[in-house]
Structure 1
Amino acid sequence: MKLGLFVIVFSLFFLPCQGQKEESFELVGSHTQAVIVLPKTESEAVRLAAEDLVSDIQKITDKTIEITSQKPTQGGAILIQTTPKNSEVYRLTSQNKNLLITGESDLGTVFGIYHFIEHYLGVDPMYFWNDKEPEKKTRLFWEKVDYQSVNSTFKFRGWFINDEDLLTEWYASGGKRNIDYPYYQEVVSPKIMEKVCETALRKKFNLIIPASFIDIRNPAEAALVKEATKRGLYVSMHHVEPMGVSAFTYFNYWKEKDGSKPLFSYYSNPEKVKEVWRLYAQEWAKIPNVIWQIGLRGIADRPMWMADPNTPQTDAERGRLISEAMAFQRQLIKEVDKRPNPPVTTTLWAEGSTLNQAGHLKIPENVTVVFADNSPGWRWQADFFETKRVPTHKYGVYYHHQLWSSGPHLVPIVSPAQTERVLQQAVEKGDIEYCILNVSNIREFGLGIDASAQMLWDFKAFDLQKFNNQWFEKYYHQQANDIQKIYQAYFDSFRLNPQSQTPILMDGQTNQLATRILNDLKLQLTDSTRYQALLKQRKQESEESKWAKSLGDMSSGNLSREDLLEEVLLQKNALLNAEKLAHKVEQTPFFKTDFLAHLKIMLSLTTWLEHVMKAKLALDHHQLTQAKQLLQKALLPFETIREAQALKTQGEKWALWYRGEKKMNLKAKEKLTREVVELLK
């Protein structure tokens, strides 16, 4: 049926009988069962959402709804229609015993379908990650359905699947990656990426960076991009891989071409870098709805000059080099992307933020400038506040629910209240063209994702207290108030840098601090000369330490070891208080996986660090026996960590959730602790 004829027939079915107003709609009854009318002209993305609707109805009623391209002569129907107007607005209307779902774009229609699934069928958008299945019903009936969506606050709203060690090895691998980096040898299963994309859409996100360091020429990695695009999502690139090219991709290209390994440097080898950019630009231009990333980064999310000592040493010269690279990339995009105005972004992460703040970057016109928080969820960098917004650019933000290596990673730490405070500043600045959220392995950050989704869609309507009340009531029912206080006690437990007001003892930070001390102990016990040389070296500022400073002060600052230990103890006591409160409520399966497991992991890491720090102080005072006893105590928290992981791995589905845990690599940290204990014997 042609679209014009379909619209006429569609309209006729929605004309009420003369003198009669019928707004009720019965989807499934004891003797009735509606159908879904999906025109053949609708996109694959809309069809897949309609299939999810069928699946969810089946979960609730055990009945399978038919999808057809033509409405039958009798019975009710869900009529799905896209009327292109270049927006994501959608509407749900019941009339004449039918339900009409319309969208002003493919994504608008998709969001309309998922809105009906969530708000009328009662299906949790995060069901795949929290195992919350919808309530069984024998009848699905509504007196009236009438909902008109708003235009979203942020135009592009995305997930960055970054540092995804747990996702990578949870299911059978989607294929091998050719990358000289220990964390990313396997490709996330396409089955998992399908669920990632489905969940993002159910939460009304429209953009995804589907993995760290994607090589689009590797079919297994390209499959992840395909999973996103077939569902209608925009796709973009990690900020460390502008034009879709990371250092790893660059090395792979030249090894494949002539067996060489040229220096990855736009300064020393500009033509070689440009050649790879050009090839990958041509490949990425084939991807529907690509959002380009431009910029200039080095190896392993470091500044480019750390791999090439010949690079100019002044910030002005370095800024000029990055600006020249962006100008070339912008022109290259014009050549390969035939869209009238393809979206292009540059993410001001690390040195990008510093150079921009100093006025050393010239960003091409019609590029969306993306400011980064750089301290996970806590504050924007100085350039966010100091950059003058100009009409030749649009502006957006990059926000971390997860940030490796400081954390959060294995546990959530950023509260919805903190997210609201920071995003409020972005809205006030008008930086609403783009917002990408680093959500890593997703499952750890359900509360944060739920809150952020609402903020990005309609920030003006977001009410923190209302959100919290509804969220905790949804998952905890009669215990909602008590458990909300427990979550808050946990969020309040983290100690802050007194100057920057950013956390100093998140999971990644405790891991780094304890690991560094243990390695110091190992060297101190085996080679005192090298140990003294290491201490002397640390007093000198290196290029690495300068780069680390550009990320913002997420460290313990100038605290002495004794003062830092006091902060560790204060955090431990606050976490113990949260644990005490947790023992007073009924520990449902969701409470165990969403909260208790994370609390146990964080408390264990803090306790591990406490004993490691005390052992170092004891050894420095030549108290070897006490140092050994303290390190033996430092091994005990790993037993609790295993208990916590057991809470999150119950059931066949989650049995291998921690198989890919290589970022924190807690097994290796337990082994290191044992090695130092043995040295003290």
Structure 2
Amino acid sequence: MSGKNFILHQTTSLQREIQNTKAVECACARFKRDMEMTLEASAREGGTVILRQKKLEPEAYEMEVSEDTVVIYGSNDRSFIYALNELSEKYLGILPFGFWNDQEIKVKPYVKIPCGHYQSEENRIRYRGWFINDEVLISHWTAGVSKEYPWEMVFEALLRCGGNLVIPGTDKNSKIYAPIALDMGLMITHHHAEPLGAEMFLRAYPDLEPSYLKYKDLFEGLWKDAIERQKNEEVIWNIGFRGQGDVPFWENDPAYDTPEKRGNLISSIMQEQYDMIREQIPGAVCCTNLYGEILELYRDGHLQIPEDVIMIWADNGYGKMVSRRQGNHNPRVPALPQKGDKGLQGTYYHVSFYDLQAANHSTMLPNSMEFVEKELNNAMDHGITDLWVINASNIKPHVYPLSFIANLWKKKALTAGEHRKTYIREYYGADCTEDQLTCMEQCISRYPDAMLSFGEREDEHAGEQFYNYVVRDFIYGWMRDGAAAPVEELFWCTGESAFDKQMDWFESKCNATCDKIEQLYHDCAVVKGSELWKDSVLLQTEIHKYCLKGSILFAESFRTYQKKEYKKCFFLLGNAVEAYNAAASAMREREHGKWTGFYANDCLTDVKETAYCLKRLMGYVRNLGDGPDFYKWQREVTYSENDAKVVLITNMENHMTDWELYLAGKNMQG
């Protein structure tokens, strides 16, 4: 068959010699859609693609290509899904993140598939997928189609990446979108705070205290209901017992006041859940999360876990395989099994994290892909190859790291450098010259180096939450008691020091990274013509730039406050407001076409809320410097110098609001 080809036309037919399922139906419809997008309409007959059953390893496929047919052999639904996706990517040119990166589609008359035998490549990871978590952007955005459509595009991208597992949202969303994910061919697992995917106790029983000690039967009833609801679905059952609202259960149940009591209870509950599942589904796969305080209990020998349960080790939210920081508590317990451990091992790994401190939500991971590569390769060396769940958040801001990690779960994985080069050329190549692509590659490589270092360790780089949550914590302390007492919420980063010393620390950290962010932004802005670049790396650098600028102005305002220069403080705070508003506007200005409204519900980092809090602080400072009559500053900024000093009538106009006053006088402040 050497030199001969199967000619794939838009008229090529799909023939199924297998059991018809919703997942295969979706895959075939997707492949036909890809053909219609990429191939010209033609009256010429285009041969046949045949789906045929064969005993192979689960998810594996083989293809026999002749001049007349492409026969795809597979053992289950995902075999055929992955095979059709492979044809789409390799021959039609549809990339895994084509939707999320606005891929420019090139239409061709037809494509040639060389005749021969093909077979799928093995993956290094058995169960691999995403947790669609903190999904506040995609849950309020329709892409101009429907509320469900963005979720379908999430699941499609995951399948195109070779994923097979998803936590389809948080809390209510997970139950709404699980049927779509299942219909498309994905397996389901559960949030670590929602064992078995059960209803949260406080939602089912809002008037009761969520105490297992008091309401054991009610908790068990919820678990039984969850098993009954999902027993006919492809589910990896997450067992465990953490608490309501993603907090430890003992915060609501003080009877469990020692590690021994907590560990004993969790161990007994996990065994009970395991038994309940296995009674209904004998071959069920179970997992449990060693997350946060649960990891510490396990490390200290207080947890007993059934031996064939996959133990999921989590990074700290910044990509380092150690326990996460919670509040001011940061033990950094290593989150890896011992080498040679015979148990089943998995990881819950973040490319996005929400900790109300310094993580990234609207911008990509502030640590390098070389760092991620090192951590995940080390995890695999420790046996973590059974399950990977990647916290993918709202997808669009995190496409680059998601793409890299999906590459890592393949046997023929690219290195971080190789992947970066390939990624840039695949997704940005249509609009850019080779020089521009090289510049982009360098900018993405330098991005982590420009991120603010809030600590000495390699992973302690700040996402955009740092500039927002730290500033809002400072505002709270400042308005609470005039900055007389330290802000305890900031002890995690500043140490237990006085308010002004905390501000010294914050200001020095911001100033240390200012030039690097400015230079990175300048270099990113050099690239012209690529809308995707403006939507992604340039936008994220711009968010950091403006939030950092607002932080520095905020710190400067505090210095003037200390000197009782209240008017100057007021206007510096107004300058900070404008910087944060610029960051918020930058996001909204990149909403075009299907992206209209994407950033509208930025309610977690919530840059606009930082601006609002700063405006409240402006009123507090004005009260100190312009009260109780509130006419002096208005005269000073709106009257001539001579008129301002002659006060026969205090004011001839209505009192200005704080913001009106700021706008009237901001250009006069030196």
What TM-score bracket applies, with the shorter chain setting the length?
A: 0.7 to 0.9
Partner of 2:320: 378
1:163: Cα distance to partner?
0.3
Q: How far apart in 1 are the matches of 2:392 and 2:451?
A: 20
Contact 2:63–2:72 under 8 Å retained in 1: yes
Equivalent position SS for 1:92:
strand
Alignment of 1:427-506 (within 5 A): 427-458=380-411, 461-477=413-429, 478=434, 479-506=436-463
Whether contact under 8 Å (2:339, 2:382) holds in the other structure is no
Which residue of 22, 26, 36 maps to 2:7?
26
Aligned to 2:248: 303
TM-score of the aligned structures, taking structure 2 as reference length: 0.84
User: Structure 1 residues 240, 166: CA separation in 2 closer, same or farther (over 3 Å shift)?
Assistant: same
Q: Find the counterpart in structure 2 of residue 571 from structure 1.
A: 513
CA–CA distance in structure 2, aligned partners of residues 172 and 196 of structure 1: 12
- Which of 148, 153, 165 aligns to 1:195? It is 153
Structure 1 partner of 2:362: 410
1:282: which partner in 2? Answer: 228
| Contact 1:22–1:97 (8 Å) recurs in 2 | no
1:327 to 246, 256, 271: 271
Q: Does 1:133 align with 2:104?
A: yes
Q: Give the superposition deviation at 1:371.
A: 0.1
**What do residues 475-513 of structure 1 show as CA deviations (whole Å, max 9, x unaligned)?**
333222111111122221123344433335321222110
**Alignment correspondent of 2:171:** 213
State the alpha-carbon separation in 2 of the partners of residues 661 and 159 from structure 1.
21
Post-superposition offset of 1:146:
4.8
Distance 1:586-1:319 versus aligned 2 partners, 3 A rule = same
What number of residue pairs does the alignment pair up?
A: 601
Q: Which residue of 2 aligns with 1:179?
A: none
Distance change in 2, residues 1:502/1:394 (3 Å): same
* Conserved 8 A contact 1:23-1:94: no
Question: Is the CA contact (8 Å cut-off) linking 1:377 and 1:401 kept in structure 2?
Answer: yes
Cα distance in 2 for residues equivalent to 1:505 and 1:65: 57
Question: Which residue is equivalent to 2:533?
Answer: 591
Deviation per residue, 1:215-249 (Å, 9 max, x gap): 7xxxxx64411101111110011111112236xx3
Deviation at 1:565, TM superposition (A): 1.7
C-alpha contact 1:152 1:457 (8 A) present in aligned 2: yes
Separation of aligned partners in 1, 2:42 and 2:480: 66
Residue 167 of structure 1 deviates from its aligned partner by: 0.8
Indicate the larger mover: 432-441 or 479-488: 479-488
Distance 1:283 1:455, change over 3 A: same
CA distance in 2, matches of 1:585, 1:171: 30
Amino acid of the residue matched to residue 407 of structure 1? A
Deviates more, 1:293-302 or 1:395-404: 293-302
Are the equivalent residues in 1 in contact too, given 2:588–2:600 (CA < 8 A)?
Answer: no
Measure the CA separation in 2 of the matches of 1:314 and 1:617.
45
Q: Secondary structure at the match of 1:124?
A: coil
Deviation, 1:147, is 3.4
C-alpha distance 203-558 of structure 1, shift in aligned 2 (>3 A): farther
Distance 2:283 2:257 in 1: 36
Using the size of structure 1 for normalisation, the TM-score is: 0.83
2:321·2:334 contact (CA, 8 Å) conserved in 1? no
Verify the 8 A CA contact 2:239 2:274 in the aligned structure 1: yes
Q: Name the counterpart of 1:8.
A: none
Cα distance, 1:147–1:623 mapped onto 2, change above 3 Å: farther
Distance in 1 (alpha carbons) for counterparts of 2:592 and 2:183: 32
Q: 588, 607, 610: which one pairs with 1:646? A: 588
Counterpart amino acid of residue 113 in structure 1: L
SS at match of 1:38: strand
Contact 1:111 1:202 (C-alpha < 8 Å) held by counterparts:
yes
Change (3 A) 1:138 1:277: same
Alpha carbons 1:357, 1:387 under 8 Å: kept: no
Query: Which protein shows a greater Rg?
Result: 2
Distance in 2 (CA, whole Å) between partners of 1:90 and 1:648 is: 41
| Aligned position for 1:232 | 185
Structure 2 SS opposite 1:319:
helix
Q: 2:35 aligns with which of 40, 57, 61?
A: 57
Distance of aligned partners of 1:64 and 1:103 in 2 relative to their CA distance in 1, 3 Å threshold: farther
Residue identity opposite 2:7 in structure 1 = E
Task: Tell me if structure 2 keeps the 8 A contact 1:203–1:453.
Answer: yes
Deviation at 1:82, TM superposition (A): 3.4
**1:472 shift after superposition:** 1.3
Mapped to 2, the partners of 1:280 and 1:151 lie a distance apart of: 33
Letter in 2 for 1:415: S
Counterparts of 2:466 and 2:245, CA distance in 1: 19
After TM superposition, give the deviation of residue 141 of structure 1 in Å. 2.1
1:341 matched residue in structure 2: 283
Distance 1:139 1:164 in 2: 39
SS in 2 for 1:492: helix
Structure 2: unaligned runs, 5 residues or longer: 324-332, 623-670
Q: Equivalent residue for 1:672?
A: 613
Distance 1:284-1:587 versus aligned 2 partners, 3 A rule? same
Task: Tell me the equivalent position of 1:636.
Answer: 578
Q: 1:91-170 counterparts in 2 under 5 A?
A: 91-144=62-115, 146-170=117-141
CA RMSD of aligned residues (A): 2.7
> Cα offset for 1:558?
7.2
The aligned counterpart of 1:17 is none
Secondary structure (helix, strand or coil) at the match of 2:514 reads helix
Q: Name the residue aligned to 1:181.
A: none
1:184 corresponds to which residue? none
Tell me the CA shift for residue 621 of structure 1: 4.4
Q: Where does residue 528 of structure 1 map in the other structure?
A: none
One-letter amino acid of the counterpart of residue 27, structure 2? A
Asked whether the equivalents of residues 635 and 670 of structure 1 are also in contact (C-alpha less than 8 Å), the reply is: yes
Q: Tell me which amino acid in the other structure corresponds to 2:613.
A: L
| Partner Cα separation in structure 1 for residue 478 and residue 42 of structure 2 | 64
Identity of aligned residues (%): 22
* In structure 1, C-alpha distance between the alignment counterparts of 2:299 and 2:549, rounded to whole Å: 39
Provide the residue aligned with 1:616 in structure 2. 558
From 196, 201, 208, the equivalent of 1:250 is 201
